[in-house]
Amino acid sequence: MDMTFTPVPESYRRFAETECQDAPVYAAWTRAVAGNAELCERIARLPGPKRQPNLIFAAARIRTPERPDGSFELDSLSPEALVQRLLETWDAIEHTLLTRANQTNEPARSSIHMPLMAELDRPIALIEVGCSAGLTTIPDRYSYRFRTARGTTTADPADGPSPVVLDCDADDDAPEHLPEIVWRGGIDLNPLDLDPSTPRGRDDLAWMKALVWPGHEHRAQRLEKAARLATEQRARGPWTTVTGDLLAELPRLVEQAEREALGAAIVVIHTAVIVYLPDPAEFEALMAGLRDRVEWLSCEGPSVLPGVASRLGERAQAALEPGAFILARNGHPVKQAQSWGYWTRPLPGES
């Protein structure tokens, strides 16, 4: 949610209503913040992208002890006590906000893109823009359980079942086999490496776990397992991660994939990334220029990509599931999806 131009109380109440259906602790916290004028004033002085509830709460959570089950000491506070804690520790929280970013890297988002990738009949050179720690740059390292109207379809990596199993309520086109990914690339302004054997890796992993919402400790546990898989895969290679602006770096990374992964289908993916760009239309124009060279799979909010939103239409947008994102292939809407990969469904009016 873009909170740059919306008053803080309004944006926080809207966040609670539209984003927190399965996160009652976050919903209560967010409503409490919306009702405190002093705290809202402090949040309003932050740069727009730093005002997000999940970023502010993560900055507060990481300052408190983590429990064995993956929760944090802060999670047991009442909404009123949470607001008071934020006010009392605001200077330290603000410092964390200005030095960290919202880099939620949910492995389960791989369930959204996997069915379309599995349709390709060639090995894949995968490029992820906004790759964070690369946990969705290794979709072939996870096992999947796609629950469809016909039953449950499972798909495992080529070398056997994964310690990370992703469940998704899906359409009837769930894949039974995973594609072969022969080359990986990623672009991020601040790429993370969650190698648990290094101090920086452990520090970044702690931050990523703090971003996981209270009550979703299973996601934090899955995050740790996925981090180990990503560390293993980086050691195997080939995997190129670029630090920089995606508009500038993506054409160069495509060229590198063409040189190093001859004959592979180059697939560009992203989820909940383009909303952070000043002008998403610039990214659409870039992808249009690469159309003959790459397969583009996007998953963003319904109105983020102007071309996708136009093809979807206002009537279909109004009929989407609450909080749904749009999965699109080469700029054309294909499905609606839950932003963390819990489900994919037909677009409104389709069966």
Domain closes at, from 99, 120, 140: 99
The DSSP output letter for 67 is P
Question: Does residue 220 sit in the same domain as residue 290?
Answer: yes
3-state secondary structure of 152: strand
pTM here is: 0.90
Domain total of the chain: 2
Q: For residue 166, tell me if it sits in a domain.
A: yes
Provide the strand spans (E) within 293-349: 295-300, 325-329, 332-337, 344-345
Looking at the DSSP assignment, which residues form a beta bridge with residue 129?
A: 187
Question: Does residue 156 sit in the same domain as residue 204?
Answer: yes
Question: Does residue 94 sit in the same domain as residue 204?
Answer: no
Question: Does residue 156 sit in the same domain as residue 82?
Answer: no
Question: Does residue 247 sit in the same domain as residue 187?
Answer: yes
CA distances from 98 to 58, 60, 82, 193, 208 (A): 13, 13, 20, 20, 16
pLDDT of residue 104: 80
Q: For residue 351, tell me if it sits in a domain.
A: no
Question: Does residue 287 sit in the same domain as residue 143?
Answer: yes
Question: Does residue 277 sit in the same domain as residue 223?
Answer: yes
Domain closes at, from 60, 81, 99: 99
Question: Does residue 217 sit in the same domain as residue 128?
Answer: yes
Q: For residue 39, tell me if it sits in a domain.
A: yes
Question: Does residue 56 sit in the same domain as residue 174?
Answer: no
Residue 17 CA to residue 216 CA, distance in Å, equals 18
Place 4 in a pLDDT band, splitting at 50, 70 and 90: low
Q: Which of 11, 19, 20 has its CA nearest to residue 46?
A: 11
Domain that holds residue 39: 8-99
Question: Does residue 89 sit in the same domain as residue 123?
Answer: no
- Kindly report, residue by residue over 129-175, the tens digit of the pLDDT: 999 999 999 999 999 999 998 899 999 999 999 999 999 999 877 89
Judge contact between 325 and 161, C-beta under 8 A.
no
- Kindly report, residue by residue over 67-121, the tens digit of the pLDDT: 888 889 999 999 999 999 999 999 999 999 998 888 888 999 999 999 999 999 8
Residue 109 CA to residue 182 CA, distance in Å, equals 20
Q: Which of 180, 169, 194, 222 has its CA nearest to residue 338?
A: 169
Question: Does residue 202 sit in the same domain as residue 340?
Answer: yes
Domain closes at, from 57, 76, 99: 99
- Kindly report, residue by residue over 241-263, the tens digit of the pLDDT: 999 999 999 999 999 999 999 99
Looking at the DSSP assignment, which residues form a beta bridge with residue 239?
A: 184
Q: For residue 118, tell me if it sits in a domain.
A: yes
Question: Does residue 159 sit in the same domain as residue 277?
Answer: yes
